[in-house]
């Protein structure tokens, strides 16, 4: 139940904040899949000397300004060495370059500073320029790749290949991470035997994970999506923060933030983000925390509104389908069914709706204990069943998800089986 995001892994890979052995890092990393190249702007064409050309006429467009071989508006995805998968972003200001990159399995940004020539030759320093953890030297190619060599402070080198990530219907979703830990301290006044979910010697901690996407319609849309998705603020604050830092045995705390990709196709991205906290020796030692569901259009960057048709006719047709799909969550308990019938209902303004490849997942947040164990969970009603019930809004921007699907008949199972993660 506890997600680990140990930042100590940084020391095992080249340039992740410490000098290390690139050879050992390359053998331990997962393989990469550098994809999606964007063509760079053409070079300036040579012209023969001659008389000055007349100014363009009223209908004749002016020639575009020449551009460098380096087109850096997009993010990059690729490898350092044979298998170290990385993501990068670079910005240019004249001949100056700045940016960041991170290893896919570590998720922590490493700063980059350097320069670029008009011919597309780049030189980047990794980390603090006064004490660099590595250097990258390479060339921008016309196919959107930056290729070159990463070199460690001790002279060890690895080839790198970064590809510009163009617009795509299925985004690349990287995981960013942030974590901190505090060692446990003895507390003579702590009650004996109230250790809850904690293990002997386990530290107090906060471990966060959130998505960063690559491949939206435009760089501006991509930036807007990532601003919406970033959730790097610490879970514990104020009084709980003091307890986290003190980390007394018997009163230890831990928190985590995780996310899941519910949908990533046809230019739509669905993300479920949720927090969880643990309290040692507490009456309720486990708190599943709140649920945040995001549905974004990767072509516009806009959040997507409720796709359900909530007309009286749609509500009437959908209610028996919902009850049928809720039944497995009640374990035959009629009281639980009554509660879920009220919460997972089109009448509930707090109903959570998340598109999945198989249909719409419907759930609600804010259950009273002990039903908070079902926080954010609920059935998936198939696209075919929703279409048959007339519950899909034709005006929803999500309409392209169910485009061309056939409505289900009354004998078809309306409940999709959850997929394995």
More confident residue, 23 or 255: 255
The average pLDDT across 270-278 equals: 91
Residue range 181-198: average pLDDT? 78
User: What domains sit in the chain, N to C, each tagged with a CATH number?
Assistant: 7-36+69-164 (2.40.128.120), 172-297 (3.30.565), 312-401 (no CATH)
CA gap 92, 71 in Å, rounded: 9
Rg value, the chain, Cα: 26
Omega before 221 within 30 of 0, i.e. cis: no
Which pLDDT does position 167 carry in this prediction?
96
Give the burial class of 306: count Cβ atoms within 10 A of its Cβ; 0-12 exposed, 13-18 middle, 19 or more buried. Answer: middle
**Exposed e or buried b for every residue in 50-64, given b needs 16+ CB within 10 A?**
eeeeeeeeeeeeeee
How confident is the model over 152-164, as a mean pLDDT?
A: 96
Cα separation, 390 vs 384, in Å, equals 10
Closest CA to 172 of 44, 85, 52: 85
DSSP category for residue 117: -
Contact 344, 351 (CB under 8 A): yes
Look at residue 127 in the predicted model and tell me its pLDDT: 95
Q: Is it the case that residue 13 has pLDDT exceeding 60?
A: no
The predicted pLDDT at position 375 comes to 61
Query: 376 or 264: which carries more pLDDT confidence?
Result: 264
Q: Mean pLDDT over residues 71-88, rounded?
A: 96
Identify which of 5-14, 125-134, 299-308, 373-382 has the greatest average pLDDT. Answer: 125-134
DSSP 28-53: HSPPP------PPPPPPPP----SPP
Q: Please give the average per-residue pLDDT across 39-47, as a whole number.
A: 33
Q: What is the pLDDT of residue 352?
A: 85
Q: Residue 261's closest CA among 380, 383, 421?
A: 421
Whether 112 contacts 136, CB under 8 Å: yes
Paired tokens of 17 = 């904040």
pLDDT in tens, 97-110: 999 999 999 999 99
- Other C-beta atoms closer than 10 Å to the C-beta of 5 total 21
Structure tokens at 10: 């940084």
pLDDT tens string 310-353? 889 988 998 899 989 988 888 888 888 888 888 888 888 878 88
Smallest CA-to-CA distance from 222 within 230, 214, 210 is with 214
CA dist., res. 131 & res. 127, Å (int): 7
| CA–CA gap between residue 211 and residue 176 (Å, rounded) | 6
CA-based nearest residue to 169, from 303, 36, 355, 308: 36
- Separation of alpha carbons 416 and 296, rounded Å: 23
Q: What is the DSSP string of 50-94?
A: -SPPPPP-TTSPPPPPP--S---SS-EEEEETTTEEEEEEEEEET
- Band of pLDDT at residue 206, cut at 50, 70 and 90: very high
Long-range pairs for 343-350: beta carbons < 8 A, 24 or more residues apart: 343/367, 344/378, 344/379, 345/319, 346/308, 346/310, 346/314, 346/315, 346/318, 346/319, 347/315
Mean pLDDT for 46-60 is: 39
């Amino acid at each position: 139940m506890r997600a680990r995001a140990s930042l100590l892994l940084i020391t095992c890979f080249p340039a992740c904040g410490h000098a290390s052995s690139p050879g050992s890092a390359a053998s331990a990393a997962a393989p990469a899949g550098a994809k999606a190249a964007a063509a760079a702007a053409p070079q300036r064409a040579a012209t023969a000397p001659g008389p000055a050309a007349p100014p363009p006429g009223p209908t004749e467009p002016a020639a575009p300004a020449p551009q460098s071989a380096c087109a850096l508006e997009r993010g990059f995805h690729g490898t350092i060495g044979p298998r170290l998968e990385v993501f990068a972003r670079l910005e240019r200001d004249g001949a100056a370059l700045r940016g960041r990159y991170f290893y896919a399995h570590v998720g922590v940004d490493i700063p980059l500073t350097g320069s670029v020539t008009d011919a597309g030759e780049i030189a980047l320093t990794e980390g603090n320029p006064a004490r660099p953890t590595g250097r990258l030297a390479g060339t921008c190619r016309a196919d959107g790749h930056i290729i070159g060599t990463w070199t460690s402070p001790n002279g060890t080198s690895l080839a790198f290949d970064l590809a510009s990530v163009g617009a795509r219907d299925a985004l690349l979703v990287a995981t960013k991470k942030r974590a901190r830990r505090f060692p446990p301290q003895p507390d003579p006044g702590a009650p004996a035997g109230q250790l809850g979910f904690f293990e002997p010697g386990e530290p107090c901690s906060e471990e966060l994970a959130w998505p960063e996407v690559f491949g939206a319609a435009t760089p501006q849309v991509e930036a807007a999506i990532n601003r919406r998705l970033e959730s790097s603020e610490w879970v514990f604050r104020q009084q709980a923060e003091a307890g986290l830092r003190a980390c007394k045995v018997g009163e230890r705390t831990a928190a985590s933030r995780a996310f899941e990709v519910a949908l990533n196709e046809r230019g739509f991205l669905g993300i479920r983000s949720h927090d969880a906290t643990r309290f040692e020796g507490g009456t309720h030692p486990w708190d599943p925390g709140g649920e945040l569901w995001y549905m974004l259009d990767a072509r516009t960057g806009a959040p997507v509104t409720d796709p359900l048709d909530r007309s009286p006719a749609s509500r009437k047709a959908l209610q028996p389908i919902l009850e049928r799909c809720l039944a497995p969550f009640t374990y035959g308990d009629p009281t639980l069914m009554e509660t879920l019938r009220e919460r997972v209902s089109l009448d509930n303004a707090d109903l959570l709706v998340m598109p999945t490849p198989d249909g719409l997942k419907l759930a609600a947040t804010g259950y009273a204990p002990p039903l908070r164990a079902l926080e954010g969970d609920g059935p998936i009603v198939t696209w075919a069943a929703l279409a048959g019930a007339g519950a899909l809004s034709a005006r929803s921007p999500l309409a392209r998800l169910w485009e061309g699907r056939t409505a289900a008949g009354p004998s078809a199972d309306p409940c999709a089986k959850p997929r394995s993660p």
